[in-house]
Amino acid sequence: MRTINISGPDGNAFALMGYAQTFAKQLGIDSKPIIEEMMSGDYDNLLDVFRNNFGNVVELVEDDNDE
């Protein structure tokens, strides 16, 4: 399973939408409705939609370092 660290540049909303397009293409599904749903709310919504659609192939992780 692939992991994406959302604490870094890969956690940027635009980067995550790019990943969504790539994963959707690899899985043979239409990315347009997924991207539209990702954009329909705040960042937490974007993460939820991403996890709901790609959580079986990608794990979103966050650094716990508050240093």
CA pair distance 12, 6, nearest whole angstrom:
7
pLDDT of residue 50: 98
pLDDT band at 67 (very low <50, low <70, confident <90, very high): very low
pLDDT of residue 65: 62
By C-alpha distance, which of 6, 4, 17 is closest to 50? 17
What HEC string does the chain produce? CEEEECCCHHHCHHHHHHHHHHHHHHHCCCCHHHHHHHCCCCHHHHHHHHHHHHCCCEEEECCCCCC
User: pLDDT per residue over 17-61, tens digit each?
Assistant: 999 999 999 999 999 999 999 999 999 999 999 999 999 999 999
